[in-house]
Structure 1
Amino acid sequence: MKTRTTRALQSSGAAAVALAALAACGAGGGTEAPAGQSASFEGRGPITYAAGKDPSGVVQPTIDRWNKLHPKEKVTFIQLPTDPDAQRQQMIQNAQTKSDAYTVLSLDAVWTSEFAAHRWIDRLPADGFPLQKMLKPIVETGKYRGGLYALPWTSDGGMLYYRTDLLKKAGIDKPPATWVQMKSDCAKVKKLPEAKGMSCYAGQFQKYEGLTVNFAEAVNSAGGVVTDAKGKPHVDSPQAKKGLDFLVGSLKDGTIPKDAVTYQEEDGRRAFQAGKLIFERNWPYMYPLASKKDGSSKIVGKFSAAPLPGLSGPGASSLGGHNVALSASAKNKATAIDFMKFFTSAENQRLTLASAPAAPTYEALYKDPKLVEQYPYLPILKQSILHAVPRPRVFEYGDVTAAIQRETYAAMTGSKSTDQALKDLQKDLQRQPAAD
């Protein structure tokens, strides 16, 4: 929903996807791959890895380690644009022309259904990967119609960042678990001299993919769903209204500052680090950045992370992340499978975590005492991922996310009531075909 991490790794969950139904559009794909059919993986030699630009600097060193061990099967890193939509479009063009230029693809977690349904990627041998050692919700993002089409590389879950120093001084001994508690805690903290001029809470409320994520989290955290497992919309429910009412009401009563309707991930992070916010919803990439002792953060040692709050208890994050998949038109697929195993291994994810705040996929890494000491947010992040909810499972995801953004933003900025916005959104989403 990048979405970050890959938002600082460049957008984990922030990618928009247009999952076009084959029967509806017939574009570049042929018919759907049968659930029981796998490709044959033959051929060894040089391959490529196609992904967005890597500002974290972790991808090339990983490829270099592979190339040193496999001089006759070298991998070339093809860096696509930073923008997820542009990445996806280039991968689709490559697939539609049946080019072998891209071998292994880095896919946003919500792209699996589209790429698998169009046969742009091969079904993978599930028994050839250590999936049982990974967190189940993450593994599910790589599946389509019972088959494995993408191998998890990184995940992502939203967390509530909060000022430990201010809560403690206000007599609050633990972070809020509900929206009501969060607002009550804010009121207490804002009475402190140190909190003068601070705002209570912010997330990502600009009209982009982050708004879809925050809306979905509000609905899920109120006990509702945007769409069910088959893509059928349910935003006309009382739970969805409670979720949207929380966002709209919080903006009206000042819990959310007015300028937060312009916030993406980095805007909220900078505001929190500058001491302008008591609470902030963001991804794990923010934790090490807010902990830097180079003068860029005013809150070093004064904050922590907790699960997102909800209506009556802890809320539910949207599930982000990136997976790797094998292009159906690629050559040297035996090499590609081995590289995918290497690239996504627990050892490489441990090394990646040391350089960039990507959420690992292996459960053991969240329990490692040394890693938890170095990255104290890991247990909370694991909890966030285990309770996370995928973004809507629909073919025309680009149209769906645009509709969510449009109606949510209209409600938050006052041009529509929450009732009208949800009514209009339900109609829009009912026009979209489901993913299964």
Structure 2
Amino acid sequence: MVEDCTEQAGGRYRIDYRTLPRQADEQRVQMVRRLAAEDESMDILGLDVTWTQEFASADWIVEWTGENRARAERGTLEGPLDSARFEDRLYAAPKNTNVQLLWYRTDLVDEPPQTWDEMFRMAQELKDAGQTHQILTMGAQYEGLVVLFNTLVESAGGSILGEDAEQVALGEDGLQALRLLRTLANSGLVSPSFSNSVEDPVRLEFQSGGGAFQLNWPYVYPAMQEAAPGLARDVRWARYPRVEADVPSRVTIGGLNLAVSAYSRHPDLAFEAALCIRNPEHQLFSALNDGVPPTIEAVYDEPEMADAYPMKDVILAELRDAAVRPRTPAYQNVSTVVSATLSPPSGIDPQEALRLLRERIQDALESKGVLP
């Protein structure tokens, strides 16, 4: 994509691609240090969706306005766009997105569960019959646990923060999410390693035949096709389970946003190059070669998507009704206290955990006593 955009520029600019450490936290630390030093050598920044508000509030990235903003927003799904906004202004262009699905074994159940309660019942029936039954997902003290909690809260009709992102909004919806998380952890239906589970071990456990249900990202599908084709024939996908039977789930999205550095010596060219990197053609290339779902809705209609993403309609349905993580410059602080308070999930006392979450998240928003 970098080579293609450089060629299309016809000599007006050349993009130099600089990779960062593999871990997201290490990427952020490196960028933050360089931006704090007003490093002029970075023009386009690839930001995790949770960093946009932090970088915008620090005046490290430039607002997208005029025709640049119009082009970035045109045809782009609202959920990814929401992750790129701060104080109702656009500070990045969504490059790719991601959302978790429910993966289930058709040799064990005829139809996917619609709700969490139904999934618990189906898993218990399989267990009672001596069959593979486990519900596999991420429960370790890290960002994956925050994603799970945020999805449960949003699916219960609430949100972690209020509309202004300055006050904690957790109430009955938060209590419902905490009860469900505790029930999951103590159900006897999860892996013994649930409280230490992150994405790839969960994938591998399901891939080796260890679960009936898996809540994980779409990358598990091509991995399973390659490593366990026999099992893959019996695996299908569905929308994430509902908390309330009559309310569709709202699933937390991931992804990458492209921002322009406030210290770039070539901001106009940087906006142009960023738009090229995230255009429909290149989003399709990334989807097919990197396994990252597009943010431009029309790309899902491309014929190549049908083979690479047989689950694309479910992905798109979730993205049209997506949940974003709390949009606050203090997100790293908020994530730290949420994951610490919820770990281990089996030890959650819902009422006490709600009280602690409200207190600790508010302190995190005000940068009191938190080390991100």
The alignment partner of 2:264 has SS state of coil
The 5 A counterparts of 1:69-218 are 69-70=8-9, 72=11, 73-128=13-68, 129-168=71-110, 174-190=111-127, 195=131, 198-218=132-152
Mapped to 2, the partners of 1:332 and 1:149 lie a distance apart of 17
Moved more, 424-433 or 315-324: 424-433
Kept in 2, the 8 Å contact 1:112–1:150? The answer is yes
CA displacement at 1:334 relative to structure 2: 2.7
CA displacement at 1:276 relative to structure 2: 0.5
CA displacement at 1:285 relative to structure 2: 1.6
Mapped to 2, the partners of 1:96 and 1:130 lie a distance apart of 27
Kept in 2, the 8 Å contact 1:103–1:336? The answer is yes
* Cα shift readout 1:136-191 (whole Å, capped 9, x = no counterpart): 121122122232210110011111111122213xxxxx311111111222234345
Alignment of 1:424 with 2:366, yes or no, is: no
Mapped to 2, the partners of 1:212 and 1:112 lie a distance apart of 18
Mapped to 1, the partners of 2:72 and 2:92 lie a distance apart of 13
* Cα shift readout 1:367-415 (whole Å, capped 9, x = no counterpart): 33441243111111111122221111233222211111111114x242x
The alignment partner of 2:46 has SS state of strand
CA displacement at 1:340 relative to structure 2: 0.8
TM-score, scaled to structure 2: 0.91
Cα RMSD after superposing both structures? 2.0
Kept in 1, the 8 Å contact 2:72–2:93? The answer is no
The amino acid across from 1:177 in the alignment is Q
Mapped to 2, the partners of 1:413 and 1:182 lie a distance apart of 18
The amino acid across from 2:80 in the alignment is I
Mapped to 2, the partners of 1:151 and 1:393 lie a distance apart of 16
The alignment partner of 1:98 has SS state of coil
The amino acid across from 2:168 in the alignment is P
Mapped to 2, the partners of 1:323 and 1:65 lie a distance apart of 19
Mapped to 2, the partners of 1:126 and 1:372 lie a distance apart of 35
The amino acid across from 1:94 in the alignment is R
Kept in 1, the 8 Å contact 2:134–2:213? The answer is yes
CA displacement at 1:192 relative to structure 2: 5.5
Identify the match of residue 256 of structure 1 among 190, 205, 214.
190
TM-score, scaled to structure 1: 0.78
Percent identity between the two aligned chains:
25
Kept in 1, the 8 Å contact 2:186–2:346? The answer is no
Identify the match of residue 264 of structure 2 among 330, 346, 364.
330
Mapped to 2, the partners of 1:309 and 1:372 lie a distance apart of 24
Name the count of aligned residue pairs. 361
**Richer in helix (by share):** 2
The amino acid across from 2:197 in the alignment is Y
The 5 A counterparts of 1:17-416 are 62-70=1-9, 72=11, 73-128=13-68, 129-168=71-110, 174-190=111-127, 195=131, 198-231=132-165, 232-235=167-170, 237-292=171-226, 295-296=227-228, 298-313=230-245, 314-410=248-344, 412-414=345-347, 416=348
Kept in 1, the 8 Å contact 2:52–2:85? The answer is yes
The alignment partner of 2:117 has SS state of helix
CA displacement at 1:223 relative to structure 2: 2.5
The amino acid across from 1:310 in the alignment is R
> 5+ unaligned residues in a row in structure 1: which ranges?
1-61, 169-173
CA displacement at 1:253 relative to structure 2: 2.1
Moved more, 316-325 or 64-73: 64-73
In structure 2, do the counterparts of structure 1 residues 351 and 104 end up closer, same or farther at CA, with 3 Å as the change threshold?
same
Kept in 2, the 8 Å contact 1:274–1:298? The answer is no
In structure 2, do the counterparts of structure 1 residues 146 and 396 end up closer, same or farther at CA, with 3 Å as the change threshold?
closer
Mapped to 2, the partners of 1:154 and 1:312 lie a distance apart of 29
> 5+ unaligned residues in a row in structure 2: which ranges?
368-372
